[in-house]
Structure 1
Amino acid sequence: MRRTPRLLATVAATLLAASLSPAPVSASASADTATAGSTATAQLPDRVLAGYLHTSFANGSGWVDLADVPDQWDIIHLAFAEPTSPTSGRLEFSLCPHTECPDVPSEQEFIAQIDDAQARGKKVVLSVGGQNGQVRLETTRARTAFVESASAIIDRYGLDGIDIDFEGNSLYLEEGDTDFRSPTTPVITNLIGALRDLTDRYGPDFVLTMAPETFFVQVGHQFYGRGQWGGADPRAGAYLPVIHALRDRLTLLHVQHYNSGPIMGLDGQYHFMGGADFHQAMADMVLTGFPVQGDPSQFFPPLAPEQVAIGLPASTYAGNGHTSVAEVQAAWDCLTTGSGCSGYTPTTARPGLRGLMSWSINWDRFGGDEFATEHGRHLGT
């Protein structure tokens, strides 16, 4: 997610750009591989709208009290907790300063608003990362700091779970780490371990969501890290081992279908953001599964439909690739009923598809709550 909208000029050729030079990391044990088809048990409505609430910063969209969040939103992601340094693992979370957000409540009032939202059936979740919050768990010490500091924030505010919105250089794959089923890169394995620690600590009702960009998920169909050609960006597909290892605990994956370059779908064609075709193709990839780096022996298994939502910008102000209400709803109907499809045709209809995610509640309020109103009505949230 972007604190301020930023136009990206990403194109497919960038996938073969010169490799990064990540800092050396210490060795870490491989994560266990989860069983395909097992699902998390955190209780949610059959259809959900998940939205990010700007709580730690201002960006022109305006402060929105939790008490004023429209009722259509079922999951409220508090954005963002950020680390004290990229490699410390230690998270900090604080409300937007009064100098930037004059209407910000006191911490006590904010906690009371969280309690009230939860009493109305909402899940209030701590989102970690964002555009500025680079998190690289290079060591087991950073993993421990991540778990303890995240737990302290969750306990202090009485939150329902955690959202992983790692962007930029937070996740990457080291040379030789080519199998998403048994990763060896410490920033990957330590994150998997940290999230297992947190879900173990809080139990099956703990909400675990992830909001990767398409580059970190669907691009893995063509390119995975440096890959067999040795020239791809080491971040390509880097979320795949995290999603796979935690699929038994993952409540919701809502890939950002925006701020994206053209992505090759399961039909071998490139799809471009901003229309129903893109959402149909990108969602179908995680619902059907796909060979990683085109290798049939490395097949990323599908997620259960109830674990999947589509990530969207709330308005043209919120991100590059905004899609009109009509196009979003056409894509939703195509994916859930198999009817009205244009462009890409999904493998099969998934009536259990969980919902939509938006960046953000603030930008939607700024634009008159169109996202919550129109999509809430269409999905029945």
Structure 2
Amino acid sequence: MDSTSTTRARRWRVAGVAAAVGAVVAAATVVGTAGTAGADPGTTAVPRHALTGYWHNFDNGSVVQKLGDVAPAYDIIAVSFAEATGTPGEIDFTLDPAVGYASEQEFKDDIAAKQAAGASVIISVGGANGHVAINDSASAQAFASSTLALMDEYGFDGVDIDLEAGINAQYLTQAMEAIHASAGDDLVYTMAPQTLDMQSTSTEYFQLALNTREFLTVVNMQYYNSGSMLGCDGQVYSAGSVDFLTALACIQLENGLAPSQVGLGVPASPSAAGSGYVDPGVVTDALDCLTRGTGCGSFVPDQTYPDLRGAMTWSVNWDAASGNAWSDVVGPHVDALP
């Protein structure tokens, strides 16, 4: 089976993309002013409410699984991770033999099968150990060109920005504008910033989200491996509670992102992160608080956000290690949101 032609028609071409990317980079401007988002932006390629999970292209002691074994509850699967090359900004992807694929074609066929079942499969860039430098126009062009090349080669639906250091909003905006210009509105474009990265609209990550909000799918902030943080009401909240999830999400919801661009990112099990694990019931309470005004803790938002995108977990492998206990609870709840 040819995964690039039998499931979804690819809407981008790598041939000649360098010239197109260069033109977009040269013309790109940085907007990034906070305010209330207008009409619901972003792709229509994912469900109104979506469950996102990261898939390991490595063996870290959780569960080694192929893409085809990922629980069907996941609407967006982020393949972790692309890696930097020797060229600034450029990324590449190589299957780890530990995952068990006999060939790259088998992996591509699994991507196609997941897409045929209704899921989006995207390539994630970054992680705790991933460092991709995008800090000038040349590296922005290299990132855009190489990302589009991976999308074309493997059939990925888009890209996830999970860089945990060195974000340059100006040049990463240029790169993402170029990718969107080539891929079109079916692009699935997600982010997974840390809590500190989304405390203020002045941070580089928040600026990137605002700059690209016309086609940004969802920001799944990592509500884990974090100390106490300020909520949108100026109060300090500790990790591991409904209030931490809702009061921090409120910052994004009230400072320029559409509700459909906000998701709650949590660990799938206590082993999946150093801190911040919460029971799946806490996640569903937080989702209900934000979308329905029920299940709240001491923090109660001034309004509800029924278009909230959903939830994310690190990771599908850690979820599988716990018998899919996380997705079995959170997945149906996300699907049933208003």
Q: Same fold (TM over 0.5)?
A: yes
> Percent of pairs identical after alignment?
40
Matched to 1:315, the amino acid is: S
User: How does the TM-score come out when normalised to structure 2?
Assistant: 0.86
Aligned residue for 2:292? 337
Picking from 28, 34, 52, the partner of 1:50 is 52
1:367 aligns with 2:322: yes
Q: Is the 8 A contact 2:223 2:245 kept in 1?
A: yes
- For 1:41 and 1:146, locate their aligned partners in 2 and report how far apart those are by CA, in whole Å: 21
Matched to 1:276, the amino acid is: V
Aligned length: 307
1:190 aligns with 2:187: no
- For 1:162 and 1:42, locate their aligned partners in 2 and report how far apart those are by CA, in whole Å: 15
Aligned residue for 1:207? 188
- For 1:105 and 1:31, locate their aligned partners in 2 and report how far apart those are by CA, in whole Å: 44
Aligned residue for 2:94? 94
Aligned-pair distance for 1:273?
Answer: 0.9
Matched to 1:356, the amino acid is: A
Any residues of structure 2 matched to 1:106-255 within 5 Å, and which?
106-168=103-165, 170-171=166-167, 187-218=168-199, 220=200, 224=202, 237-255=203-221
- For 2:156 and 2:221, locate their aligned partners in 1 and report how far apart those are by CA, in whole Å: 22
5+ residue gaps, structure 1: 1-27, 172-186, 225-236, 290-300
1:9-68 Cα shifts (integer Å, max 9, x gaps): xxxxxxxxxxxxxxxxxxx9752447832411332212211000012x221112211111
Q: Is the 8 A contact 1:280 1:331 kept in 2?
A: yes
Aligned-pair distance for 1:105?
Answer: 3.8
- For 1:353 and 1:156, locate their aligned partners in 2 and report how far apart those are by CA, in whole Å: 32
Aligned residue for 1:31? 30
5+ residue gaps, structure 2: 1-26
Q: Is the 8 A contact 1:266 1:285 kept in 2?
A: yes
Q: Is the 8 A contact 1:63 1:104 kept in 2?
A: no
Provide the alpha-carbon RMSD of the alignment. 1.9
- SS at 1:135's partner residue? coil
Q: Which structure: greater helix fraction?
A: 2
Describe the shift of the 1:379–1:115 C-alpha distance in structure 2 as closer, same or farther (beyond 3 A): same
- For 1:214 and 1:33, locate their aligned partners in 2 and report how far apart those are by CA, in whole Å: 19
- For 1:79 and 1:366, locate their aligned partners in 2 and report how far apart those are by CA, in whole Å: 17
- For 2:99 and 2:334, locate their aligned partners in 1 and report how far apart those are by CA, in whole Å: 35
- SS at 1:208's partner residue? strand
1:261 aligns with 2:258: no
Describe the shift of the 1:249–1:140 C-alpha distance in structure 2 as closer, same or farther (beyond 3 A): same
- For 2:32 and 2:288, locate their aligned partners in 1 and report how far apart those are by CA, in whole Å: 33
